[in-house]
Amino acid sequence: MALLEMNGVRKRFGGVLALDDASLSAAGGEVHALLGPNGSGKSTLNKTLTGVVVPDRASITIDGSPVAIHGPRDAHAHGVAAVYQQLSVVDDLTVTQNVVLGLEPTRRLGLLDRRAARTVAAEVLTRFSPAFAGSVPYDAAVGALSPGEQQIVEICKALARRPRILVLDEATASLHKEQVHVLFEVVRELRDSGVLVVFTSHRMDEVFALCDQATVLRNGRTVGTIALADATEDQLVHMMVGDVERREEARRSHASDRTVLQVRGLTTQRLRDVSFSVAQGEVLGLGGLQGQGQSDLLLAMFGAAKIHAGEVLYDGVPLPLTSPVKAARAGVALVPGDRGRQGMFAVRPIQENLSIASMHRRATARLALSQRAERRAARGIVERLNIVIGGLADRISTLSGGNQQKVVIGKWLLNEPRVVLLDDPTKGIDITAKEEVYAIIRELADSGAAVVFNSSDNRELLEMSDRVLVLFEGGVVDELTDAQVTEEDLVASALRLEAGETL
Amino acid sequence: MNTPVISSLRPPKVLSPVVLAAGLAIALLIVGEIVSPGFAGHGQIVNMLRVSAFLGIIAIGQTIVIISGGEGIDLSVGKVATFAAIIGSRVMDGDNTKLLPALTLALTVAAAIGLCNGLGITYLRIPPFVMTLGMIGVVQGLILAYTSGQAHGRAAPFLTSLVNGKVIFDLPGLLFLWLLLAVAVTWMLRRTTYGWQLFAVGANRVSARLSGIPVRRTVILAYVLSSVFAGLAGILLLGYTESVFLDLADQYMLPSIAAAVIGGTLLAGGIGGYAGTAIGAVVLTVLQSLLITLEISAAGRTVINGLVLIVLLSLYGRQRRLRT
């Protein structure tokens, strides 16, 4: 019998129908994948279960008895715990304190029992010690940990609540391979002890490696549930995307021989002596393990990091990289890695989000805006990038992740950049939107821009890039130029598995 | 992240704070008219609007500063207004020909104070609350040094007639000036690059910086504008009182914040507008008049003011489900 049954779930956000008669049925002791492109509503369905979103209509039963989930507390009461890609850890508290937050064991008079707290935290944390490079930093402030380690703390926080249903929603996005491996072992243990794990990830290899069943959503509806042992990747993609023809475009470089961008000896707090060049119309990929300086390199090239030494030249002329204002004026564009925190203005309208980086070009005396001109510019981008919106006056936060990202990219296209820096632009967006982002990147390169592109997805990195630089600990350790480079080559290079290299 | 974040002003049952505040102002007028016939008479309303104008003009700058985010607030507006009035009064000293130099000097001094606030907040990273609170003390010291404890001079007649006299349709010039400023500020916020940058900076400073917006310059200018509008309100208040005293406009500090917040400007920054603030200023003024008409003691008035603010804010909070 199913441990969890969700039926007829319906939720409307403003003008967007996020869920329309979605359903999910899953048994205890299984890992159940929830799949679908981003606008599909899988995140909303997850959040309905965890009480973050209150649906307009839904019937939910756990263990056969109907339950009403009006908030996260109700979800907790029914044994549901969740981990999202967005962290809820408190930076200033220690790892132990974060894990027991809200469950703090107390002695008489309500005094905290530190020793008991440590025991509770240690119980879940020790299982993850390989993910912390061997030793768990119980008393370190969470803010001092790497993003991947913070994510592990977040996961332990959920596990400390001893859930019967555990929701992992893109919880592996910021983990490196080793950490994912440890997490998967723990998830399998949980499954064997009868816990239902609802798993969402854009990485198909993870889904196949871990999950037993998959429920696929499309446009807010449940398309079906399939046993993963019998399913192929293509089958799943077909369920997600529907009967749309998949574009299989061969990589074709339009890079000219003319080198336009030269980075020479760039050194910052996180980078050491990085040098490379990019030709006009070339897409240069940045690979390697995540967090090895790719984002730092892009920030430095946008004037957003203090440069200790080195310079970046365009056509032989140094770019002014003392501030992002100057870099943007000089024709550099950055699509940052964290869309919500670094890329968009959540409470502001789509119109302003699109206009903000280029409006001075259209304004009279760089000050007075013409509403008509701004609207025309914004509409042009919305059509060109196929952004699905209700109206330009709607807040950008009403859009799905893929459409938000297209707005962030569109903001820069309006400024007609010569150098485009993209930091993992397809992270957490659906397949259709990814394809569209790829097309935009190609179009930018074809129109003569120098593109530097960081990606945590090796396949897309190889597909999109003319060359790939592999970074390790803030330096360039390898350059893959061969068109026949495989994912294995890239991974080996990223892990520095070549003979004679020391880690 | 693929969160369809929950926030939309779309659902039809949600009233905007501007509409809610305007409704409250009208309701207060009706209540006043019932308990004390004549409360909402033409003369009374004009008088209440005139009193609102001073608060409304001080609150222009406060609104801009709050929108700029980063816990933006300007506690020094009242003191700056007082200082501007004191400088203005001494320089013009009842002489129309000296009105312009007086205005220029007063507003320049005000702008300089705002610049100090802005520089301290952006470059020295002093929290706005602390910086502008400290500035109150500094300005108070400047006032004492400038006046030696005794205010001099009086308003130029032209200034007094602008504020108190009837210009068109039996309405004082002050109201037209206020309207003009309201239109100008609304235009600035909604139709200039500075306005859009200000909202962007208030909504997300990191994104603003990474979008090539000069964040510091935007914030500094917000504090300069705040002081300049406060100074202007001080000069106009001088026209109303004709002679100046050492704490002339000090009590406008809290109401200026309240007016902005009642009008729907979010204390967290990034959301708001001036129309709401102007209506907020009217609400606060009408409420004061009503309480005075009801012969409620000063202590009782303060309590009720506070309660109204809390009730209104809780209503807005209920409507605005922001989970960003």
Condensed to tens digits (0 to 9), the pLDDT of residues B61-106 reads 999 999 999 999 999 999 999 999 999 999 999 999 999 999 999 9
Nearest to A352 among B4, B8, B199 (CB): B199
Angle between the B42-67 and B77-92 helix axes, to the nearest 10 degrees?
Answer: 120
Give the C-alpha separation, B226 to B228, whole Å: 6
Shortest Cα–Cα distance, A94 to chain B (Å): 25
Question: pLDDT tens digits for A191-230?
Answer: 999 999 999 876 677 888 899 999 998 888 999 999 988 8
Same domain, A23 and A151: yes
Residue-level length of chain A: 503
Same domain, A261 and A206: no
At residue B3 the predicted structure's pLDDT band, cuts being 50, 70 and 90, is very low
Same domain, A16 and A151: yes
Question: Of A179, A211, A241, which residue constitutes the final position of a domain?
Answer: A241
Query: Is residue B99 assigned to a domain?
Result: yes
Question: Do strands A283-287 and A450-454 pair parallel, antiparallel, or not at all (unpaired)?
Answer: parallel
| Cβ-Cβ contacts under 8 Å, B264 against chain A | none
At residue B192 the predicted structure's pLDDT band, cuts being 50, 70 and 90, is very high
Same domain, A372 and A317: no
Question: pLDDT tens digits for A277-330?
Answer: 999 989 999 987 667 889 999 999 999 999 999 999 999 999 999 999 999 999
Q: Cβ B2–A401 below 8 Å, yes or no?
A: yes
Average pLDDT over residues A6-34: 88
Tell whether the model's pLDDT for residue B11 goes beyond 60.
no
Query: Is residue B92 assigned to a domain?
Result: yes
* Model confidence pTM above 0.80: no
Tell whether the model's pLDDT for residue A492 goes beyond 70.
no
Shortest Cα–Cα distance, A79 to chain B (Å): 23
Average pLDDT over residues B258-287: 93
Least confident of A253-262, B92-101, B102-111, B219-228: A253-262
Question: Do strands A31-35 and A213-218 pair parallel, antiparallel, or not at all (unpaired)?
Answer: parallel
What was the pLDDT predicted at A232? 77
Query: Is residue B1 assigned to a domain?
Result: no
Tell whether the model's pLDDT for residue A503 goes beyond 60.
no
Same domain, A255 and A313: yes
Q: Cβ A13–B196 below 8 Å, yes or no?
A: no
**What residue numbers bound the domain in which A12 lies?**
4-241
Same domain, A254 and A149: no
Query: Is residue B200 assigned to a domain?
Result: yes
What was the pLDDT predicted at B320? 53
Q: Cβ B203–A347 below 8 Å, yes or no?
A: yes
Same domain, A141 and A273: no
Nearest to B206 among A42, A53, A342 (CB): A342
| Cβ-Cβ contacts under 8 Å, A357 against chain B | 211-212
Average pLDDT over residues A377-391: 94
| Cβ-Cβ contacts under 8 Å, B210 against chain A | 302, 304, 324, 334, 336, 342-343
Tell whether the model's pLDDT for residue A39 goes beyond 80.
no
Shortest Cα–Cα distance, B147 to chain A (Å): 40
Chain B residue with Cα closest to A326: B212
Tell whether the model's pLDDT for residue A494 goes beyond 90.
no
- Contact call for residues A333 and A412 (beta carbons, < 8 A): yes
Shortest Cα–Cα distance, B9 to chain A (Å): 8
Chain A residue with Cα closest to B188: A368
- Residue B145: partners with Cβ closer than 8 Å, 6 or more residues away: none
On the 0-12 / 13-18 / 19+ scale of CB atoms within 10 A, A475 is middle
Same domain, A198 and A310: no
Identify which has the larger pLDDT, B10 or A424.
A424
At residue B15 the predicted structure's pLDDT band, cuts being 50, 70 and 90, is low
> Which domain CATH number covers B214?
1.10.3470
Query: Is residue A278 assigned to a domain?
Result: yes
Q: Cβ A395–B8 below 8 Å, yes or no?
A: yes
Q: Is A33 helix (H, G, I), strand (E, B) or coil?
A: strand
Least confident of A232-246, A395-409, B80-94: A232-246
Same domain, A429 and A308: yes
C-alpha distances in angstroms, A119 versus A122, A424, B121?
5, 38, 44
Question: pLDDT tens digits for A60-119?
Answer: 999 989 999 998 889 989 999 999 877 888 989 999 999 988 888 777 777 778 888 888
On the 0-12 / 13-18 / 19+ scale of CB atoms within 10 A, A125 is buried
Same domain, A391 and A364: yes
Same domain, A94 and A18: yes
Query: Is residue A51 assigned to a domain?
Result: yes
Give the C-alpha separation, A229 to A232, whole Å: 8
Residues paired with A5 in a beta bridge? A25, A61
Question: pLDDT tens digits for B20-47?
Answer: 889 989 999 999 999 989 898 888 999 9
Nearest to B4 among A18, A369, A430 (CB): A18
Question: pLDDT tens digits for A420-476?
Answer: 999 999 887 877 888 899 999 999 999 989 999 998 777 788 888 989 998 887 899
Q: Cβ B213–A400 below 8 Å, yes or no?
A: no
Average pLDDT in chain A: 87
HSE-CB at B232 with a 13 A cutoff on CA atoms is 19
What was the pLDDT predicted at B12? 39
Q: How many domains does chain B have?
A: 1
Q: Cβ B192–A16 below 8 Å, yes or no?
A: no
**What residue numbers bound the domain in which B240 lies?**
49-313
Query: Is residue A191 assigned to a domain?
Result: yes
Residues paired with A82 in a beta bridge? A167
What was the pLDDT predicted at A498? 42
Tell whether the model's pLDDT for residue A24 goes beyond 90.
yes
Question: Of A241, A271, A303, which residue constitutes the final position of a domain?
Answer: A241
- Paired tokens of B242: 């004709």
Query: Is residue A336 assigned to a domain?
Result: no
Chain B residue with Cα closest to A304: B210
Least confident of A371-380, B104-113, B162-171: B162-171
ipTM: 0.89
Average pLDDT over residues B212-227: 97
Tell whether the model's pLDDT for residue A244 goes beyond 80.
no
Chain A residue with Cα closest to B200: A345
Same domain, A450 and A479: yes
Average pLDDT over residues A147-157: 91
Q: How many domains does chain A have?
A: 3
Write phi, then psi, for B74 (nearest 5 degrees).
-125, 100
Write phi, then psi, for A103 (nearest 5 degrees).
-120, 10
- Paired tokens of A87: 């962290």
Q: Cβ A38–B2 below 8 Å, yes or no?
A: yes
> Which domain CATH number covers A288?
3.40.50.300
- Residue A499: partners with Cβ closer than 8 Å, 6 or more residues away: none
CA angle (B205 as vertex; A438, A413 as ends), nearest 5: 30
Shortest Cα–Cα distance, A43 to chain B (Å): 6
